[in-house]
Amino acid sequence: MSHQVPPGALSGVRVLDLTQVMAGAYCSMLLADMGADVIKIERPGGGDDTRRMSRGPDVEHSPAFNAMNRNKRGIAVDLKDPRGAEVVRRLARDADVLVENFRPGLLDRFGLGQEELRAANPALVYCSISGFGATGPYAGRGGYDLIAQAMSGLMSMTGEPGRPPAKVGVPICDLNAGVFGAYGVLSAYIHRLRTGEGQFVDTSLLEAGIAYTVWETAMFFSLGDVARPMGSAHRLSAPYEALPTADGFIAIGAANDRNWERLCSALGMERLLRDPRFATNPARMEYRFELAGELAATLRRRTTAEWLEVLHAAGVPSGPLYDIEQVYADPHVQARDMLVETVHPRMGTVRHIGAPVKLSGTPSTIRRPAPLLGQHSREVLAEAGMPAAEIDELLAAGVLVTTPPDDDHARPAPGAGSSPLDPTEVPA
């Protein structure tokens, strides 16, 4: 008997996805994972720039694109052609949500700005994710994760003391902007359910980065402290960092006095409990370099695995430092369904990160891989009530493109499908 998957929490919600690269695409992917019907709208002649961000052999279906666009259906429409822009307006009249991450004001040129679309569909939740937001003196600038990390203060407090500024190892502002975008969309959608009114949701990479400096900002406002790099150490607790072992590193979070006592006992270093330099957390913070040296001298005598067995038995929060390969070999990660698979029509089996939020009644699911360019153009427009003859006419003119899963040679007509914007105008 086949297993029936319950509908997702957002089943029945229609989302138009006018995004490229990461921030906006991640926002709509989160909604898709929860069951929303997300329609990815790309330009003919290339599609989302992320399709070609690959070091692998397939230059049209990169791992990056597949990662950010799972669970979506895809259409390809030339927005520079008035007929193409009208196709999107037609879809927007019946949509619940629209997500875009173009530079503010750009979609207004095509009659696809939030005011025009919401005038035709007052219930529409229109989400804009940009580098700096829709207002303010920097609104017109293009923005990328690197710039947002630099201007949010994140780079000034990341890395090792005395070393050049470092960015976080993942595009944290891109990803957080996507999370905040989804948060804003869901908040606005709940309001719509109560009132019938949609609204404009505006967030940015810069604000996503600033929002994550919550403790550092509080310390500055309260004490005037300006956060600086501390490596893996904590700003308010010690010991709380990665320390060397005989064969690598171990992360230890003895963030309070109880765990500090357990750590000293587990390591056979009870003498540290009698050392006034380490008697309280403020004292341990003041002498944290000396404390790290004491702990490292003992930890280097055994392997990470050996110490983890000891520390876990003592109830001390601790863990190994994994690279990506090691993450997915961990039995707990596997047990939590954080590695899932789909079957792509060109690439075969594709592995994905599982959903990080587990809902008991309406679970998130990874139902389909990222679409081929325009894979569902005909299907989506037919569902919207467009006659087959009109769809054929738009396809013949190159305003629409479709790539069936079994057609390796489907391409737009020569010269058709110009980009709706210069790629440098994409903010994320």
**Cα(396)–Cα(419) distance, integer angstroms:** 18
Does residue 392 carry a catalytic annotation? no
Nearest to 127 by CA among 213, 243, 52, 38: 38
Which residues are paired to 244 by β-bridges?
Answer: 249
**Cα(203)–Cα(188) distance, integer angstroms:** 13
| 44 Cα distance to chain centroid | 25
Question: What proportions of the chain, in percent to the nearest 5, are helix, strand and coil?
Answer: 40, 15, 45
Candidate list 17, 81, 174, 202, residue with the active-site label: 174
**Cα(192)–Cα(27) distance, integer angstroms:** 19
For residue 250, the SS3 value is strand
DSSP character at residue 164: P
Residue burial 211-240, b: 16+ Cβ < 10 Å; e: rest: ebbeebeebeeeeeeebebeeebeeebbbb
For residue 252, the SS3 value is strand
Q: What amino acid positions are annotated as catalytic residues?
A: 174
